[in-house]
């Protein structure tokens, strides 16, 4: 019996060691899509003021023309949008250390965060942590840590496949074929926009697995209220905007519970969520991804919203206006 237990434990330890080695020691492809986060953080750290900082998921990565916004509002722009699979808690917490007085922070979260808790997904979180060099791993909350650990076997399998395909060292960093969209770090411009899809034909829109009838995550709302207060203590103005998405996806993933939840913490959307939707012909390859024409329309819309709110001139007064607006709706 003891021999059986020892043998079983040895197999388990060997399995864990192999997974750990593949997860931690496999070279990271510098063109991995999630590697773009490192470039975005560097720009956030060094970007001069005045500046707009957009934080969200792929709705921002695939939805902004930051140069247009920058030229129109005469403020530098940092687009931190990347991937809904990393959730929203990690980037929001991570960006906080680089926030300066008078920054204008625009939060545009995919609707699923309000129901899932914004902790990311086990398919993506381990890949993301590997891409950023496991930074801030000690600051992950319990749910994020579970997602990372549970996703390690899949990460290890993916890395093993990459190693098996590599006949030589540079095969891990092979160039991507042209005229076809690929998720890659090289697809981002210097301000953080994914621009490689602008000149490519749309792909089939991936359906969402998220249903809008799920209950609002109370822990997420408490965290959101707290973290916005921390941003404001740093001297920033925070604006809540709905994410851009095609109308069909909006009908599937949004419900008014989100508005009520934001009102309850005194942080309502600056405009109605339906005002951020686009016709389905502007969809690219996902529920929150839009094509080049959609990017132009969305960017002009955001410029108009921010101008109407007088954010560049009166950012310090905007938070109080938001709270008064929320109180009037209750």
Predicted local confidence at residue 316, as pLDDT: 42
Whether the Cβ atoms of residue 84 and residue 120 lie closer than 8 Å to each other: no
Predicted local confidence at residue 219, as pLDDT: 96
Domain spans of the chain, in order of start: 35-171+178-329
Predicted local confidence at residue 212, as pLDDT: 54
Whether the Cβ atoms of residue 131 and residue 38 lie closer than 8 Å to each other: yes
Residues in the chain: 330
Eight-class DSSP state of 153: H
Question: pLDDT tens digit string along 259-308?
Answer: 999 999 999 999 999 999 999 999 998 789 999 999 999 999 999 999 98
**pLDDT per residue of the chain (330 residues) written in tens, 0 to 9:** 565 555 445 454 444 544 555 555 556 788 999 999 999 999 999 999 999 999 999 999 999 999 999 999 999 999 999 999 999 999 999 999 999 999 999 999 999 999 999 999 988 998 899 899 888 888 899 999 888 888 777 776 666 666 566 655 555 455 555 667 889 999 999 999 999 999 988 776 665 555 555 789 999 999 999 999 999 999 999 999 999 999 999 988 898 999 999 999 999 999 999 999 999 999 998 789 999 999 999 999 999 999 988 765 544 444 455 445 445 555
Predicted local confidence at residue 139, as pLDDT: 87
Query: 278: burial class by Cβ within 10 Å (0-12, 13-18, 19+)?
Result: buried
What is the CATH topology of the domain spanning 35-171+178-329? Answer: Rossmann fold (3.40.50)
Question: pTM for this one?
Answer: 0.85
Strands 51-56 and 104-108, how do they pair? parallel
Long-range contacts of 157-166 (CB under 8 A, 24+ apart): 157/22, 158/127, 159/22, 159/23, 159/26, 160/22, 162/26, 162/29, 163/22, 163/26
Predicted local confidence at residue 287, as pLDDT: 83
Residues in contact with 98: Cβ distance below 8 Å, sequence separation at least 6, in sequence order: 41, 44, 45
Question: pLDDT tens digit string along 141-172?
Answer: 999 988 888 877 777 666 666 656 665 555 54
| C-alpha 223: how far from chain center | 17
Predicted local confidence at residue 161, as pLDDT: 64
């Amino acid at each position: 019996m003891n021999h059986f237990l020892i043998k079983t434990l040895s197999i388990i330890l060997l399995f864990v060691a192999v997974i750990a080695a593949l997860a931690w020691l496999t070279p990271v492809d510098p063109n991995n899509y999630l590697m773009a986060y490192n470039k975005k953080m560097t720009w956030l750290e060094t970007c001069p003021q005045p500046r707009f900082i957009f934080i969200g998921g792929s709705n921002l990565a695939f939805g902004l023309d930051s140069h247009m916004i920058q030229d129109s509002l005469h403020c530098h722009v940092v687009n931190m949008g990347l991937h809904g699979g990393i959730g929203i808690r990690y980037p929001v917490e991570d960006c906080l250390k680089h926030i300066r007085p008078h920054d204008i922070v625009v939060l545009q979260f995919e609707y699923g965060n309000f129901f899932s808790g914004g902790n990311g997904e086990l398919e993506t979180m381990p890949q993301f942590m590997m891409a950023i060099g496991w930074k801030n791993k000690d600051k992950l909350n319990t749910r994020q840590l579970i997602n990372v650990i549970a996703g390690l076997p899949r990460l290890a399998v993916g890395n093993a496949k990459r190693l098996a395909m590599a006949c030589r060292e540079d095969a891990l960093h092979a160039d991507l074929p042209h005229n076809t969209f690929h998720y890659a770090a090289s697809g981002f411009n210097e301000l953080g926009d994914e621009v490689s899809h602008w000149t490519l034909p749309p792909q089939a829109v991936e359906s969402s697995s998220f249903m809008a009838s799920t209950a609002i995550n109370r822990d997420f709302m408490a965290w959101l209220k707290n973290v916005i207060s921390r941003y404001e203590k740093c001297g920033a103005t925070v604006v809540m905007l709905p994410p851009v998405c095609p109308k069909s996806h909006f009908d599937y993933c949004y419900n008014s519970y989100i508005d009520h939840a934001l009102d309850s913490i005194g942080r309502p959307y600056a405009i109605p969520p339906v005002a951020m939707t686009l016709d389905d012909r502007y969809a690219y390859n996902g529920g929150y991804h839009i094509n080049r024409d959609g990017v132009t329309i969305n960017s002009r819309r955001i410029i108009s919203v921010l101008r109407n709110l007088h954010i560049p001139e009166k950012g310090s007064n905007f938070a109080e206006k938001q709270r008064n607006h929320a109180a009037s709706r209750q």
